[in-house]
Structure 1
Amino acid sequence: MTTPKPSGPPVYPLSKQDTFVSNLDRLRETSDAVADAFRGLRRAADAHGTLEAKQRELCLLAAFAAIRNEGGFRVHCTRATEAGATAEEIEQVVILLLGTSLGLVPVVEALSWAHDELQ
């Protein structure tokens, strides 16, 4: 038996896209307990260290772009803007990946996700 989903707004904002379903929501469809544990892990990781929210979110954007995780990128793009990141900062984080871990196609792909979220 699964426990009821928490009521009220999500702890973190998700994508601004109308039809977006996060990977956490998909995990929750199978196991509330595992989804809650994952959320707890992310909260602990966020609380560790001295980086401010905007810095953490920009780091996560680079990671999600590098592994081509569209869902994670969209969620953290929204969170980055809510933490004060500008469109120019988000674009720079993605463009910095050119010539490092990513080629042209994944960078342009991530830029399109960012532009969707920043509208």
Structure 2
Amino acid sequence: MPEHSGPPVYPLSQQDTFVSNLDRLRETSDAMADAFRGLRRAADAHGTLEAKQREFCLLAAFAATRNEGGFRVHCTRAKEAGATPEEIEQVVMLMLGTSLGLVPVVEALSWVHDELR
């Protein structure tokens, strides 16, 4: 289990190591972390969306809430599920003028570029 001191430092790209929110929860309660992970597995298993499609949905949600940690984790997972950097960029840019303004879209694009370079 990763050791850390205090809350995450943003932007996460400035940290030497990344500690996920799930790992942070696990430091307090293994049972709660396991329950949360089980909930996410059940959500992934429900329905017919493929992994890449699910990751795109999660990327949009994390970008809309400006959750850098969640966005970065799922950016990597989207790539692992076969998404190209251009597809991930498009997911972010589609939100411009719909649910996000210019600043959060550019911010999320910087997260994409940090994660996928």
Give the Cα separation in 2 of the matches to 1:53 and 1:117. Answer: 19
- How many residue pairs get matched? 106
TM-score for the superposition, normalised by structure 2: 0.86
Give the Cα separation in 1 of the matches to 2:29 and 2:102. Answer: 37
Structure 1 gaps of 5+ residues are 6-14
Alignment match, 2:74: 76
Give the Cα separation in 1 of the matches to 2:94 and 2:20. Answer: 26
Alignment match, 1:35: 33
The one-letter code matched in structure 2 to 1:37 is A
Give the Cα separation in 1 of the matches to 2:16 and 2:34. Answer: 24
Please state how far the C-alpha of 1:18 moved relative to its aligned partner: 5.0
Please state how far the C-alpha of 1:19 moved relative to its aligned partner: 1.1
Alignment match, 1:95: 93
Q: Percent identity?
A: 89
Structure 2 gaps of 5+ residues are 2-11
Please state how far the C-alpha of 1:86 moved relative to its aligned partner: 0.3
Ranked by relative contact order (alpha carbons within 8 Å, sequence separation 6 or more), the top structure is 1
Give the Cα separation in 2 of the matches to 1:112 and 1:87. Answer: 12
Post-superposition CA distance 1:10-66 (Å, at most 9, x none) = xxxxx9985111000000011000000000000000000000000000110000000
Superposed CA RMSD in Å reads 1.7
Q: 1:85 to 1:70 in 2, by over 3 A?
A: same
**Secondary structure of the corresponding residue to residue 43 of structure 2:** helix
Alignment match, 2:84: 86
Give the Cα separation in 2 of the matches to 1:90 and 1:74. Answer: 11
User: Is residue 19 of structure 2 the alignment partner of residue 44 of structure 1?
Assistant: no
Please state how far the C-alpha of 1:99 moved relative to its aligned partner: 0.4
TM-score for the superposition, normalised by structure 1: 0.85
Alignment match, 1:53: 51
Alignment match, 1:9: none
